[in-house]
Chain A
Amino acid sequence: MHMCSQITMTVNGAPIVVPSGTTVAVAMAIAGQICRTSVSGEPRGPLCGMGICFECRVVIDGKPHRPGCQILCKQGMDVKTDE
């Protein structure tokens, strides 16, 4: 994480730059975006931080329900809030 090479990616359509080693869930937080909307429409973000609760699931490169806290950001990644 202290290597400090930068990654440029897209979060809900807006570009964002994060240090390498950042997880997708953290990138969402840095961008001020929620990870998912619950079945009754509530905004949700990470809870357990370790791949158990699935509250941080997001859409990554078109694939829904990806666990944001367990996936590292990659150059050019496109992440969206999971509806």
Chain B
Amino acid sequence: MNRQPRQQFDVLVVGGGPAGMAAAVRAAESGHRVGIIDDNPAVGGQIWRGESEAGSEASKWIERLQSSGAIVLRSRVFQQPGQRILLAEGDDGIWELSFEKLILATGARERFLPFPGWTLPNVMGVGGLQAMVKSGLPIRGKRIVVAGTGPLLLAVAAYLRQHGAAIPIICEQASWRKLARFSAALLAQPGKLLQGLQLKREVGETRFSANSWPVAANGRTTVESVTISRSGKPETIPCDYLACGFHLVPNIELPLLLGCQIQNGYVRVDDFQRTSVAEVFCAGEPTGIGGVELSLVEGEIVGLSAAGRIAEASKLFGRREKLRRFARSLDRTFRLRSELRSLPQPETIVCRCEDVYYSRLRDQSGWRAAKLQTRCGMGPCQGRICGLATEFLFDWKPDSVRPPIFPVRVKSLSGLTGDSNLELCEITGGRS
């Protein structure tokens, strides 16, 4: 594994989604040497994956990033070996990245909850299935049940329909009452309301059911049908895919590794998006799940702040506050209902990496005990999937984060000590 020469940046941005791109653009346009790291084939994050339509918001930012002078690095940060240095692994080796200021824009992931059959092939996340379609998966004529909770359900159902899929039903766990209150709150945000109306038209005659959730995915080698609980009544619906995700949770492993203070699950930042750690900033979903518009404005603020353009950054505070109100209403509307805790059966797998059953976990005293006794959370995802499930199911709190925060090839680590005779294999670190 090659050790690449050290790269030095005035501002280093981790994450190439809307927040990271806006941050990199604003800092680079201010004349700073800026690096932006992302581990996906292209920048744009999950929301703009595969978008290249001329004139779109996505392509405007992508073009602006390209002409800003910011350097895009395709790699993944796994460790902080010293002050103002991060290590990242890419296809071509390990990068040692040093910086004066660091901007964390690490985005969010979906929360998945275990229920019988959720490990079957073709049961995917809502954003997960959309990412696959954006990456070339043909779905014309396929029947796709969309379930879980959050605004992604409608957006992705509309997207899947546009790409030729049939959506027999959208199951939203939130109650009609909560959804109605949420719609009323949207009235205060005309832009969001328009988006909502447009989505509703695109979803068209698709059945939308509140108070509903999947209780089982059925099939032998792939999903063939989904049993849902629809306002308390079971109903089985044949399908080719189940897209199921329970809203979004921020990726805070790197902020935790760096010692950033966390408040109510989010990275705590001040008006200028500064974290509790000196010279470390944060923007986008890790500071609160709010969607692309909030991510962009936070990204602009953080890029300007890191570049020292405080007065210009302050001018965007008003817009950010308005969008943050929307973010808070998302949290309230799509909070998980307690019935979902009883979905797993004793033989339902909770930890997919190590195939740990619910029956082995329910008597454990906590996350650490579960890891030691059952290997739950000890696989390559390092508890990123099952840790969110057990947090909800058992109220377990994850432990501290240890490097490497992603599985890296042993050669990547051995390269650091000069021993390069080890075979290529995976190791895991992460939450202790």
Task: Give A residues with C-beta under 8 Å from B.
Answer: 1-2, 18-19, 21-23, 25-27, 29-30, 34, 38-40, 42-55, 57, 63-65, 69-72
Which B residues are in CB contact (< 8 Å) with A44?
A: 119, 121, 352
In contact, A47 and B136 (Cβ under 8 angstroms): no
**B355 CB-CB contact with A under 8 Å:** yes
Which B residues are in CB contact (< 8 Å) with A51?
A: 39-40, 76
A68 to B303, CA, bound (A): 32
**B109 CB-CB contact with A under 8 Å:** yes
**B96 CB-CB contact with A under 8 Å:** no
A52 to B46, CA, bound (A): 12
- With A46-B128, A47-B352, A50-B109 given, is the CB distance from A23 to B136 under 8 Å? yes
A42 to B90, CA, bound (A): 30
In contact, A22 and B380 (Cβ under 8 angstroms): no
**B191 CB-CB contact with A under 8 Å:** no
In contact, A26 and B132 (Cβ under 8 angstroms): yes
Q: Chain A at the B interface: mostly helix, strand, loop or mixed?
A: loop
B358 to chain A, nearest CB (A): 14
Of listed B136, B251, B349, residue having the most chain A CB within 10 A: B136
A38 to B123, CA, bound (A): 15
CB-based nearest A residue for B121? A45
Count, A-B residue pairs, CB within 8 A: 116
Which B residues are in CB contact (< 8 Å) with A71?
A: 41
Seed contacts A38-B355, A50-B131, A70-B41; 14 additional CB < 8 Å A-B pairs: A21-B136, A23-B132, A26-B132, A30-B136, A42-B119, A43-B120, A44-B352, A47-B352, A48-B124, A49-B131, A51-B76, A65-B380, A65-B407, A71-B41
B269 to chain A, nearest CB (A): 23
**B85 CB-CB contact with A under 8 Å:** no
Task: Give B residues with C-beta under 8 Å from A.
Answer: 39-41, 46, 50, 52, 76, 109-110, 112, 119-125, 127-132, 135-138, 221-222, 251, 349, 352-355, 379-381, 384-385, 407, 424-426
A-B complex: 4 closest residue pairs judged by Cβ atoms? A49-B131, A45-B121, A22-B136, A49-B128
Q: Chain B at the A interface: mostly helix, strand, loop or mixed?
A: loop
Which B residues are in CB contact (< 8 Å) with A63?
A: 424
Which A residues are in CB contact (< 8 Å) with B76?
A: 51
- With A65-B407, A69-B132, A70-B41 given, is the CB distance from A46 to B124 under 8 Å? yes
Which A residues are in CB contact (< 8 Å) with B52?
A: 2
- With A42-B355, A44-B119, A46-B128 given, is the CB distance from A53 to B136 under 8 Å? no
B247 to chain A, nearest CB (A): 14
- Partner among B135, B251, B407 whose Cβ is within 8 Å of the Cβ of A69: B135
A18 to chain B, nearest CB (A): 7
A4 to B408, CA, bound (A): 33
A21 to B132, CA, bound (A): 11
CB-based nearest A residue for B136? A22
In contact, A43 and B121 (Cβ under 8 angstroms): yes
Which A residues are in CB contact (< 8 Å) with B122?
A: 45
CB-based nearest A residue for B118? A47
- Partner among B132, B221, B385 whose Cβ is within 8 Å of the Cβ of A52: B385
- With A29-B137, A44-B121 given, is the CB distance from A50 to B127 under 8 Å? yes
